């Protein structure tokens, strides 16, 4: 049965809508503002570390059960987890930080992780011929959430009529409702569906793609080289998402522009996802990785220069580059999982690739600790720039390796 072109684009729209709401996870730099009067940077950095860690765990769990559990059930579970997490946060009012860790870090992180892998894998199944485009659009929607909703959440949270607690309640209800609807609308293509043949340089290696199981991936040097280099490069993006607003405030920004800067970071994140998808379809995966490795090193280096010179402009450019690199990572790993390891085990393989965020997430806690100890982020970004230099070298080396 030949694929209906209109139906698969409808599926892409459904997937984008779900991920736009789920991407609220990237607004932490903005929506954490009410909690800064209760807890310090180290504690709040740890919360984002937990969020990203359980996002990875939720993604991996979704991948493991993909063959036994339908996308409908997984999305229903993600709706319940995400709603519960944000609902509990809306009831907090200082005291112990443990409930924040459990609600936002564990429950919301798990729920959004399950939703992320389920939506990406299920929707991409409709586009085996246009992997870069489909992944790029979906991941752009996920990354643009903070740009679209971050400012709105900030305005609502500061409003006396609404307040931050009601804002988190609205997020809980909206996200839960959207994921419930997604569970009904996002379905994989029927068995036997025939799609157009892949075209373009980005698909050259797919002709030899094997159906690789998770166990087989763990025996391949390509996986470890990509995992290590990408985990290093993506670290600056995680720190930026956790502390972008604080960084530009340290550079003399007004509170209003600091929120805007966090929105620019989110937009750059979305742009990175879209541009890397376009690059993959037009110049191939390996060349795309080289470009992304170069920007990955440039991003924290620009922040270092900004903090040393006190340049607000360079600070905004630097954190935006961090977001751009972070976004590029998501598309690159999504495409690599399908291109090198095949579609049969895609959900699990993508979840395994996505685990790069787990070790990288701890940089958020470390950066917060350095900020509390030194009073600034300079030392943290010097370390990040040094690490990403090494990660970029590995990425350049990766271009000459055989899969």
Q: pLDDT tens digits, residue range 137-182?
A: 887 788 778 778 877 888 898 888 899 899 999 999 999 999 999 9
Instruction: Please check whether residue 81 is in contact with residue 107, taking contact to mean a CB–CB distance below 8 angstroms.
Output: yes
379 C-beta neighbours (distance < 10 Å), count = 15
User: Coil, strand, or helix at residue 194?
Assistant: strand
Instruction: Please check whether residue 122 is in contact with residue 346, taking contact to mean a CB–CB distance below 8 angstroms.
Output: no
User: SS3 letters for 239-282?
Assistant: HHHHHHHHHHHHCCCCHHHHHHHHHHHHHHHHHHHHHHHHHHHH
User: Coil, strand, or helix at residue 134?
Assistant: helix
In this structure, what token pair is assigned to residue 192? 């036997």
User: Coil, strand, or helix at residue 1?
Assistant: coil
From 323, 339, 318, 305, select the one nearest 241 (Cα to Cα): 323
Question: Cα(70)–Cα(187) distance, rounded to whole angstroms?
Answer: 9
Q: Express each pLDDT in 33-72 by its tens digit.
A: 889 889 988 888 889 889 988 998 998 888 888 878 899 9
Question: Cα(267)–Cα(275) distance, rounded to whole angstroms?
Answer: 12
Highest mean pLDDT: which of 74-88, 142-156, 227-241, 258-272? 74-88
What pLDDT is attached to residue 99? Answer: 94
| pTM (whole model) above 0.85 | no
From 133, 130, 122, 100, select the one nearest 18 (Cα to Cα): 122
Q: How far is CA 398 from CA 206, 225, 235, 388, in A?
A: 17, 7, 19, 15
Q: Helices (H) and strands (E) in the chain — how many of each?
A: 17, 0
User: Coil, strand, or helix at residue 159?
Assistant: coil
Q: Tell me the mean pLDDT in the region 236-257.
A: 88
Which DSSP string do the residues of 80-149 spell out, in sequence order?
HHHHHHHHHHHT--SS-SHHHIIIIIIIIHHHHHHHHHHHHHHHHTT-TT-HHHHHHHHHHHHHHHHHHH
What pLDDT is attached to residue 333? Answer: 75
Q: Express each pLDDT in 340-359 by its tens digit.
A: 666 666 667 777 777 777 78
Question: Cα(284)–Cα(179) distance, rounded to whole angstroms?
Answer: 33
Q: Residue 206: pLDDT band by 50, 70, 90 thresholds?
A: very low
Question: Cα(279)–Cα(282) distance, rounded to whole angstroms?
Answer: 5
373 C-beta neighbours (distance < 10 Å), count = 11
What pLDDT is attached to residue 73? Answer: 94
What pLDDT is attached to residue 305? Answer: 96
Q: What is the percent of the chain where pLDDT is above 70?
A: 87
Instruction: Please check whether residue 293 is in contact with residue 396, taking contact to mean a CB–CB distance below 8 angstroms.
Output: yes
Instruction: Please check whether residue 15 is in contact with residue 119, taking contact to mean a CB–CB distance below 8 angstroms.
Output: yes
CA 232 to chain centre: 15
Q: Minimum mean pLDDT among 259-263, 266-270, 344-348, 386-390: which range?
A: 344-348
Q: Tell me the mean pLDDT in the region 311-317.
A: 94
Q: What is the DSSP letter of 187?
A: -
N- to C-terminal Cα distance for the chain?
A: 32
What pLDDT is attached to residue 403? Answer: 39
What pLDDT is attached to residue 72? Answer: 93
Domains of the chain: 5-398 (1.20.1250.20)
């Amino acid at each position: 049965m030949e694929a209906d072109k209109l139906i698969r684009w409808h599926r892409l729209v459904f997937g984008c809508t779900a991920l736009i709401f789920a991407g609220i996870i990237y607004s932490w730099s903005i929506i954490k503002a009410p909690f800064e009067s209760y807890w310090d940077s180290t504690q709040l950095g740890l919360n984002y570390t937990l969020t990203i860690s359980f996002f990875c765990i939720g993604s991996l769990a979704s991948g493991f059960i993909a063959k036994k559990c339908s996308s409908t059930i997984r999305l229903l579970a993600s709706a319940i987890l995400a709603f519960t997490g944000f609902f509990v946060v809306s009831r907090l009012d200082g005291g112990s930080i443990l409930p924040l860790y459990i609600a936002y870090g564990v429950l919301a992180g798990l729920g959004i992780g399950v939703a992320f892998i389920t939506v990406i894998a299920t929707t991409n199944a409709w586009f085996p011929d246009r992997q870069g485009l489909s992944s790029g659009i979906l991941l752009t929607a996920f990354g643009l959430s903070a740009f679209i909703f971050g400012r709105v959440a900030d305005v609502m949270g500061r409003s006396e009529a609404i307040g931050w607690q009601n804002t988190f309640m609205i997020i809980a209800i909206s996200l839960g409702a959207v994921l419930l609807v997604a569970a009904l609308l996002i379905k994989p293509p029927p068995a036997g569906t025939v799609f157009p043949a892949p075209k373009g340089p980005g698909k050259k290696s797919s002709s030899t793609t094997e159906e690789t199981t998770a166990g087989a991936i763990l025996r391949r040097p390509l996986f470890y080289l990509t995992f290590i280099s990408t985990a290093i490069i993506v670290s600056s993006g995680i720190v930026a998402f956790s502390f972008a607003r604080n960084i530009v405030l340290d550079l003399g920004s007004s509170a209003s522009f600091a929120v805007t800067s966090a929105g620019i970071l989110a937009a750059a994140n979305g742009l990175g996802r879209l541009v890397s998808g376009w690059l993959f379809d037009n110049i191939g995966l390996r060349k795309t990785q080289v470009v992304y490795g170069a920007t990955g090193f440039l991003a924290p280096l620009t922040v270092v220069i900004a903090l040393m010179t006190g340049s607000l402009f360079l600070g905004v450019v630097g954190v935006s580059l961090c977001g751009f690199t972070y976004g590029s990572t998501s598309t690159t790993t999504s495409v690599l999982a399908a291109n090198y390891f095949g579609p049969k085990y895609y959900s699990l393989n993508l979840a395994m690739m996505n685990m790069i965020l787990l070790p990288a997430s701890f940089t958020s806690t470390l950066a917060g600790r350095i900020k509390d100890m030194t009073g600034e982020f300079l030392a943290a970004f010097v370390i990040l720039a040094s690490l990403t230099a090494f990660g970029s070298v590995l990425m350049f080396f990766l271009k000459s390796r055989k899969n």
